[in-house]
Structure 1
C-alpha cells in the first residue's frame, strides 16, 4: 500500500507543484484582495483570519462579506455561499472514483484543500481514475503537489491582506486583480458550449438584477444559469454521434 508520506518523493508531486506555480500569482492576488476586502467590509482581524482558515473558499467569502456588512439575514448569506460553492458538488462527484480507496478522513481533507484550479489541472492530467494502486498513488501525489501550492499561495496572501488591510489603499485596484483571477478560472472551466452558454446567462442575469438589495443578483445569476442548463439538457438531442454528449 502506498504511504502518504512518500508523496513528495514522487515526480508526479513536483509536476503538480510546477503546474500550480504557473497560476500561483493570480491565486495570491485573489487571496490578497479577499483578505483586504474582509477587513475593510467591517470584519475584525480575528474574524477575517478564522473565516479564511475555516471557509477557504474565495468566491463564497467574497459573496458573503458584503452581505454580512449590509446586515443581510443569515439565511440569505448561507444561501448565497451555498449556491456559489455548488460547483464543488460537481467536482466531488467527478473525483469520487479517484478517492474512494482512501479512508474517510483523508477524503475529507483532500476535498477541503482542492480548489478550482487544482481540480482543473488534475482533471486535465488524469481524465480517468487509475486502475491499480500504483496509478492511484501517482494521481494522489500530483493532486497533493498541486493543492499544496494553491493552499500556500491563497492562505499566505490572504493573511497578508488581513494584516495590511488598513495600509493598502483601495485605489491599488486589488478588486480588479481578483476579477482577473476569477476570469482565469472561468475560462479554464468553460470547456463546452453548454458551459459557455451558462456562463453568459449568469453574467447577463447578474447585470440585469444589479439593483436588487443584499447582493441578491448573485442568487439570480446562479438560479438563471442552473435553469438554462437544465432546460438545454432536457431538450438536447441524444444521438450516437460524437457531438451528442459534448457537455
Structure 2
C-alpha cells in the first residue's frame, strides 16, 4: 500500500464518511441484491451481468434497462431510458464542481464513477462550502468506498446465486421498499413531494406505453409540475435530484 493511500485510509474524515454511510448501507445492499438477481433472471449471462454491475454502477438505470434488454427493445430506447433515469447526476456533479474542480481530470472521472445518491446527500449536509483543510475529499472517498462495497458485494452474490434464489422470497418487493426509502429521503419540500405524487400517477396512467416509456413520461410530468410550482426557480434541480428514481415494477422476473 502506497504512503498516499495509507494516509487516505487513516484520515479521520475517511473513517467518518465510511461510518456515516454504513448507517444506510442496508438499503443499498438490498437494492444491489435485487439488481444482481434481476440481471440473471432477465436472461443476461453471469459474465455480462458482472461486467454490467462493475461498469455501470447505477442501480436505478440498471433496473430500468434490464427488462428492456430482455424484451429486445431497440438500443436507443435502452440508452434513452438510462439517460433519463440518471439525469440527476448532472445536478449532483454541478453541485460538486466547486469542491473537486482543483483535481486532475482523471481523478474527477473516478469521482464521477463513485458518485451515488446517498453519498451526495451526506456530503452536502456536512459541507456547505469548499475547503482544503476539512478533509472533504477524504470524507467523500470514505463514504463512496462504503457505498460501492455495500452495492457490489450483494450484487455479485445475487448474480452468482440467482438460479437458486426462489422468486417467492419477494426480492422484487424488497427492491421497491429500498427505492422508496432512498427516494423519500430526498423529498425536501412541498414542491418535490407533490411532483413525486404526479410522477407516480403519470407512470401508472402511461403504463400501457411500449418499451417502458411510462418512465420517461413520469419524469417529464414531474419536472414540469415542479417548475410550474416554483415558477422556474430551483425546482428543476430539486425535482431531478429526488424524483428520477422510477423503476419498472417487475425488475425481478422469472
TM-score (norm 2): 0.87
Counterpart position of 1:165: 162
Which of the numbers 192, 197, 200 marks the counterpart of 1:195? Answer: 192
State the structure with more CA Rg.
1
2:108: which partner in 1? 107
Aligned to 2:222: 225
Residue of structure 1 aligned with 2:179, choices 182, 186, 196 = 182
Q: Match of 1:17?
A: 18
Match of 1:78 in 2: 79
Measured in 2, the distance between the counterparts of 1:93 and 1:85 equals 14
State the alpha-carbon separation in 2 of the partners of residues 149 and 176 from structure 1.
Answer: 24
- Look up the match of 2:149: 152
**Are positions 1:134 and 2:111 aligned together?**
no
Question: 1:140-176: CA deviations, max 9, x gaps?
Answer: 1111110111101101110110000000011111111
Counterparts of 2:81 and 2:200, CA distance in 1: 16
Q: 1:203-225, CA deviations, whole angstroms, 9 ceiling, x for partnerless residues?
A: 11111111222211111111111
The answer for unaligned runs of 5 or more in structure 2 is 240-254
Cα distance in 1 between the residues matched to 2:128 and 2:180:
23
Superposition CA RMSD, Å: 1.8
Q: Distance in 2 between matches of 1:180 and 1:194?
A: 23
Q: How many residues align?
A: 233
Structure 1: gaps of 5 or more residues: 239-245
Where has structure 1 moved over 6 Å in runs of 4 or more? none
Distance in 2 between residues matched to 1:114 and 1:216, nearest whole Å: 26
In terms of mean alpha carbon deviation, does 37-46 or 194-203 score higher?
A: 194-203
In the alignment, which residue of structure 1 is the partner of 2:245? none
Shift of 1:95: 0.5
Q: CA deviation at 1:226?
A: 1.7
Corresponding position of 1:213: 210
Residue 57 of structure 1 is matched in structure 2 by: 58
Which residue of 2 is the match for residue 241 of structure 1?
A: none
- Taking structure 1 as the reference length, the TM-score comes to 0.89
The structural deviation recorded for 1:186 is: 0.9
How far did 1:192 drift? Answer: 2.0
Query: What is the CA distance between 1:231 and its match in structure 2?
Result: 2.5
Q: Distance in 2 between matches of 1:235 and 1:151?
A: 35
> How far apart are the structure 1 equivalents of 2:102 and 2:208?
48
Find the aligned partners of 1:101 and 1:217 in 2 and give their Cα distance.
40
**What residue in structure 1 maps to residue 140 of structure 2?**
143
